[in-house]
Structure 1
Amino acid sequence: MNKKVFYIVAGIATVVLVFYTYLGGFTAADTSLATSQTMYVAGQSFEGAVEDKALGQAFQRVSQVLQEKKLEGHPGNIYYNDPDRSGDSLRAFIGIIIPDSTVKLPEGYTLRTVPGGRKVVRAEATANIALLPKKLYGAVFDYAKEEKLKLEEFYVEWFPEDDKGVLEVPVKE
């Protein structure tokens, strides 16, 4: 009986590991010091708990706007704090990185400009969207710690392709 249980557990573990590998769980993020480029983000503000239904609705709206081709671009967000350090309270701007600031915005959307020319820690990774945030943020924080860099609480993330993510965090000067 013990051998049977062992083989079942080993089989399940193998399937889980193969699935995790397929999702990109073992790929490392490329992290470096870079200079940011100016970006335009069309979207909506959010302030509240990470579990708030309104946050999910903001992400769904981004998907809808892109599917209906109301804007050309890719999903991108600005976070003004780290919810892990601020008791699950999030201040964010959820939206779409657009190439031009003169486009007509969908109803309820505003435009924010992320200034360029700043020294940032930049991480890029390829993995499933469910794994990307943890992978990107972990890589940025690890890099900053290794290089003894202080980071601002200003995070810009975007997803230029399916299963690809980029995160930039300015270095305190």
Structure 2
Amino acid sequence: MSKKFLVSVAIVAAIGVGIYAWLGGFSSPTVTVTTSEPLLIAGQPFKGAVKDEAFGKAFQKAAQLRDSKAIEGMLGNVYYNNPESERDTIKAFIGIVIQDSTIKLPEGYELLHVPGGRKVLRTEVEAHFMIGPGKLYSSLFDYAEENKMKLEDFYVEWFPTERKGIVEVPVK
């Protein structure tokens, strides 16, 4: 191997590590047991294969509505089955966490009221939403297992910013 090739590989690897760090890849999630606050999500239900084109389009629509300010809020979702273990079929509600229940909803959108006052396991991470969910769910499940906690199949996630993610799951 030539010296130039090794230097090139080292530069590419350094750039890759730099991008991963910039996205928050080295940040550590925090996990707490707390009481949930009520949330209101404007969105659309989805049930089907994770690989289904409609699943990705539901996320894209929510992001487009938020980015265009057609709906003010932050991206948020509810999963009615474990999104990390359900590789084939997912049941979800995908949309935007909002404050105002009187807004005019786009066609196909409806309101979902997520009740508050429940004991939940909450995890937060300062990482880009492209890599944050993986960190959030792995830390959540590790904590639940270590502390012998049983969780409901009701996963609420939202992203206050592109670089912060939160997941809450009610404790059984």
TM over 0.5: yes
Q: Is the 8 A contact 1:119 1:171 kept in 2?
A: yes
1:1-173 alignment, distance < 5 Å: 1=1, 3-172=3-172
Alignment: residue pair count: 172
Cα distance, 1:84 vs. partner? 4.2
What is the TM-score with the length of structure 1 in the denominator?
0.91
Counterpart Cα distance in 1 of 2:85 and 2:59: 22
Q: Deviations over 1:117-163 (max 9, x none)?
A: 11111111111111011011111111111211111111000011121
Counterpart Cα distance in 2 of 1:31 and 1:20: 22
What is the TM-score with the length of structure 2 in the denominator?
0.92
Where in structure 2 are there 5+ consecutive unaligned residues? Answer: none
Cα distance, 1:18 vs. partner? 1.6
Q: Is the 8 A contact 1:119 1:170 kept in 2?
A: yes
Which letter does structure 2 place at the counterpart of 1:44? Q
Counterpart Cα distance in 2 of 1:68 and 1:167: 25
Cα distance, 1:4 vs. partner? 4.8
Cα distance, 1:23 vs. partner? 1.1
Q: Is the 8 A contact 2:76 2:159 kept in 1?
A: yes
Where in structure 1 are there 5+ consecutive unaligned residues? Answer: none
Q: Deviations over 1:50-71 (max 9, x none)?
A: 1111011111111222233222
* Between 5-14 and 69-78, the greater mean CA deviation after superposition: 5-14
Root-mean-square deviation (CA, aligned residues, Å) is 1.6
Give the ranges of 4+ consecutive aligned residues of structure 1 lying more than 4 Å apart after TM superposition.
Answer: 2-5
